[in-house]
Amino acid sequence: MVRSMKISIVGGGYVGLVTGSCFAKLGHDVTIIDVDPVKVQAINNGQPPIYEKGLEDLLQENAGQHLRASTGYDSVSDADIVFICVGTPPQPDGSANLSYIESACTSIGTGLKTNPHYCVVVVKSTVPPGTTENLVQPAVLRAAQKTEREIGFAMNPEFLREGRAVEDFFHPDRIVIGSTDPRAGKRVADVYRNIAAPVICTGMTAAEMIKYTSNAFLATKISFSNEIGNICKHLGIDVYEVMKGVGLDQRIGPQFLNAGAGFGGSCFPKDVSALVSLAKKTGEIPLLLQSVLDVNEQQPHRMVALLEQRLGNISGKRIAVLGLAFKDNTDDIRDSRAIPVIHELLEKGATVAAYDPMASSAMQRVFPGIEYGSSASDILRGADGCLIMTEWPEFSQLDKEFDLMARKIIIEGRRILTCKGAEGICW
């Protein structure tokens, strides 16, 4: 039986909060460190500051017992393992901004000065290859005034799908641990006790590259499917029939072949852009990866173009937008495909009414001037057209609600509807 560990997690965002809550469920003693006192208070009260299926139950079960949050780094001074889960947002050139990583390293190292035990610092944030070895390790050791014999280092990428993250944590396809120190690698493996999954041990740079490559490949499958869908649209072919036949090939698989409005969220756009930037710095021209981004950038605008084909001039027309989150089962709007669609609708003089089961509040900060409904019916009433942007299950049940529209022009960016009369973006 592996002993319970004292874990500090730096960063109470999506990855850090889910990871910390799940580690607490496994019986470890977890402290989440975040600079936002409001978020810290919410976590300590057992209230998740984000929506994620199953997260609230985990927080209420463990907050105040195996899980706590703090704005300070005191917990690092007796931690067995410290996970870095801060953001690495894109810079203007697409490369990863590592300033939060650098800041976290200095604070962690300062906290480890008085830690009398061997501790392992683990990067879980998505970072360019070489970051753990060349930035994190020297920065922590310098601030801690210690050696590699006293502090170990590892890279442990996350593969959590938003909306299904808790399930993914407890039932992962694999656990990747990158480390050059067997002692550090073993400690990271030990913290995942009772998780039945293959453990892949690699070097730190390989582990960093595995994360980028995984997301880039999945994004490529999506853009490839969308490009095939665009061709099928002209030929009068149902791309979903095509991809069903293609996906049954075991060499390809059915996942991520659903054509539609494109990918969004906190990972795929950012990580593919970072990989493109990294490739260019090495002198490579990443033609395929750049095309993945180009297809994704254009895909949502095809919905507006199709709407104009069916409706004519959309200036002054009421357009309903169903779905604001970048995918179902989350309130995350980062790189949501609804954002460029709404921008273009407004630029062309349309009146926009929007509804999402979870993400309306977040989108109000981006578009405060549009109408937000409390149900699909609210925004469909009197609408001249409707665009479906998110695959929320409740949208699949819509039928008579579309009779409230002034003109029944319905265009799907996700294949979710079961009613008659809807048209797909690329099917």
Q: Which residues of 60-75 are buried (b: 16+ CB within 10 A; e: fewer)?
A: eebbeebbbbbeebeb
The active-site residue out of 267, 386, 419, 426 is 267
Distance (Å) of CA 176 to CA 68, 172, 265, 312, 319: 26, 10, 22, 52, 45
- Of 156, 280, 146, 267, the C-alpha closest to 214 is 267
Residues near 298 by beta carbon (within 8 Å), at least 6 away in sequence: none
Q: Is the CB of residue 80 less than 8 Å from the CB of residue 187? A: yes
User: Helix, strand or coil for residue 120?
Assistant: strand
Q: Is the CB of residue 29 less than 8 Å from the CB of residue 5? A: yes
- Of 33, 18, 9, 8, the C-alpha closest to 332 is 18
CA 388/CA 319 separation, integer angstroms: 11
Q: Which long-range contacts (CB under 8 A, 24 or more apart) does 294-298 make?
A: 295/223, 295/226, 295/227, 295/262, 296/219, 296/222, 296/223, 296/226, 296/262, 296/263, 296/269, 297/262, 297/340
267 in catalytic set: yes
Catalytic sites, residue numbers: 267
